[in-house]
Structure 1
C-alpha cells in the first residue's frame, strides 16, 4: 500500500527562489514529492543521457508518469507513428522501474468512434510498461455506452483511465492572471472517480488560494482512503494555476490521507538548501 504524490513539473521559478538553489533541481524536488508528471516528453523526446540523469537524481521508489510525445498522440493520432514511439520507449529505458506508467493523453477531438484505434494501439505496446490513458472528449464522461466502450479497451491491457479533475477550479470565476489563463486552457469535464486498476492516477487542479485548493480536494481524500483500504496504490498530482506552492500542497494532501490511514508510510524529509548569496 503506497500513496505517491507530486506535481506537473519538477522545477519552477518560485521553487528555485525558495529551495531549488543547486543544479540538481530534480533531486531537491524528489526529496519533497514521490512522483512527477513527465509533461516535458510531450513536446520532445529526451536523449537517453538526459533520462539517465533523471534516474541518478531520484531514488528507486520515485515514480515518473511520462507522457507520450504529441507527434504520436495528437499529430498522428496513434496511427503510423511506430518510429517515434520506438524512439520514445528506448529513451526512457534508463528510468527502469521508476516509470510508473506511460501516459497516453489524447486530444479533445479523439472520441468514441476512435476507441478502436486506441485499442489496436494499446495491444501493440510492449508489456514491459504499464499504461494510463487520459481522454477529454465529453461523450466519455456523459454517455455510459461510450465510457463502457473505453473501459473495455483499457481492460485488455490493464491500462488506467486518468481523470483530470477541474471541477473545483471552475466552481468560481478566476481572480488572478494565472487563474484567468488556466480558465481558457484547462478542460471542463464531469468528475470521474472510478479506478480500473490497482494503481489509479489522479490529476487535480485547485485554485491559487491554498484554502480553496484544500477544500476542493476533500472528496478525493475520501476516494483515496477507500482505494488504499482496498489494497490499491494511487498516485495523485496536485496542480494550481500558478503552481507556486504545489509541492507543499501535494505533501499536505498526503498528510490529510495519512491522518485517516495511519499505516501509510510518511513522505521523505525535504533536503534543506542554503539560500543564494551574492558571494
Structure 2
C-alpha cells in the first residue's frame, strides 16, 4: 500500500526576520527557490489582493520542485466584494491564471468573510456547484452560524462532501487562550478569526491552518493533538495540507520543522519536508 503524504508549509515564502539559517538570502526573487528546498507547499495570500501576471505564475512553476504545491486564495473581489454573486468573469479569469501552475496547484481556497452567513447558503451552493471539477478546492467560513452543530452546519458539511470540497480548519485556540501584550500578538489577535474548532474531513485534501501563541513551545498542547488527526487522515488515504503560523511568522519555520519531525515519528516518511542542513563546525576550533 502506497503511503499518503502530508504537505507542510507556511503562510509565505519570504520574511524579513528569516535573515539567518537556510531561508536567508539577499535576492528576493530567489526566495521561493530557497523555501521550496524544505517546504512542500505555501499559502498564497497575494492572490487575495490581486492576480499575478501570467509570466509570474510561470516563474513560480519553474522555480519549484515537482512535488511542490501552491494553495492560493480566490481574489477578495469574488469572495468579499461580490459575495460569490455575478462573478463568473472574475472567477474564470482567476482560475485560468492559476491553472498555469498545472499539477502544482494544490487547493484553490475560498475564504469567506464573517459577514457571509448561512442565510446565503443558496448563493454558496450555486457557486460551489458551478466550480470546474478538475481543480481541488478548500473553503473557510468565519460566520459563527456555520459552527452551531445544527441542521445548518450539517447541510453545509454534506454539500462539501457531495462536491469533494475541503472544509478548511483554522485553529486559533493557542493564540486566543494565551494572549500577551506585545505588538505582534495584539496584531494577530485583531486579525485572526475566533471561531470554534470543528474537525472534519469533507474531501480528500483536508487543510489545517494553525497559529501558535508567541511562546510556541509553551502551547504544544494545542498542536500535538493534530499529529494524531493528521495520522488518521493519512491512514484513510487522504492527503492533508498543514500550514503553521506564529503571531508574526518569525518562528513559523521552527514550528513546521517540529511538526514534520513528530509526524514522521508516527508514520515514517509521511511529512513532505526536508530537514534543515546541519551547520558545519569550524574544523580549526578542534585543534
Same fold (TM > 0.5): yes
Picking from 259, 277, 282, the partner of 1:253 is: 259
Write the deviation string for residues 26-50 of structure 1: whole angstroms up to 9, x where unpaired.
0111112111111110000111111
Which one has a bigger Cα radius of gyration? Answer: 2
For 1:156 and 1:202, locate their aligned partners in 2 and report how far apart those are by CA, in whole Å.
20
2:182 maps to 1:182: no
For 1:136 and 1:266, locate their aligned partners in 2 and report how far apart those are by CA, in whole Å.
29
Name the counterpart of 1:276. none
Name the counterpart of 1:113. 119
CA contact (8 A) 1:115 1:149 kept: no
For 1:176 and 1:226, locate their aligned partners in 2 and report how far apart those are by CA, in whole Å.
36
For 1:11 and 1:272, locate their aligned partners in 2 and report how far apart those are by CA, in whole Å.
21
For 2:82 and 2:52, locate their aligned partners in 1 and report how far apart those are by CA, in whole Å.
19
Q: For structure 1, list consecutive stretches of 5 or more residues without a partner in the other structure.
A: 274-279
For 1:29 and 1:272, locate their aligned partners in 2 and report how far apart those are by CA, in whole Å.
17
Name the counterpart of 1:126. 132
SS at match of 1:24: helix
For 2:238 and 2:82, locate their aligned partners in 1 and report how far apart those are by CA, in whole Å.
34
C-alpha change, 1:100 and 1:233, in structure 2 (3 Å) is same
Cα offset for 1:86? 1.4
For 1:111 and 1:138, locate their aligned partners in 2 and report how far apart those are by CA, in whole Å.
8
SS at match of 1:28: helix
Cα offset for 1:200? 0.6
Name the counterpart of 1:141. 147
Name the counterpart of 2:283. none
Name the counterpart of 1:211. 217
Picking from 90, 95, 100, the partner of 1:84 is: 90
SS at match of 1:101: strand
Cα offset for 1:118? 1.1
Q: Which moved more, 1:65-74 or 1:210-219?
A: 210-219
CA contact (8 A) 2:7 2:271 kept: no
CA contact (8 A) 1:112 1:149 kept: no
Name the counterpart of 1:9. 12
Q: For structure 2, list consecutive stretches of 5 or more residues without a partner in the other structure.
A: 280-287
Aligned length: 273
Picking from 167, 175, 179, the partner of 1:169 is: 175
SS at match of 1:74: helix
For 1:247 and 1:83, locate their aligned partners in 2 and report how far apart those are by CA, in whole Å.
37
Cα offset for 1:269? 4.8
Name the counterpart of 1:41. 47
What RMSD in Å do the two structures reach over aligned CA positions?
A: 1.8
C-alpha change, 1:53 and 1:16, in structure 2 (3 Å) is farther
SS at match of 2:18: helix
Q: TM-score normalised to the size of structure 2? A: 0.90
CA contact (8 A) 2:160 2:203 kept: no
C-alpha change, 1:207 and 1:127, in structure 2 (3 Å) is same
Write the deviation string for residues 170-222 of structure 1: whole angstroms up to 9, x where unpaired.
11222421001111121111112111122110000101223134332011111
For 1:75 and 1:32, locate their aligned partners in 2 and report how far apart those are by CA, in whole Å.
36
Cα offset for 1:263? 4.5
Q: TM-score normalised to the size of structure 1? A: 0.92
Write the deviation string for residues 49-93 of structure 1: whole angstroms up to 9, x where unpaired.
111111111112111111000000000000111121111111112
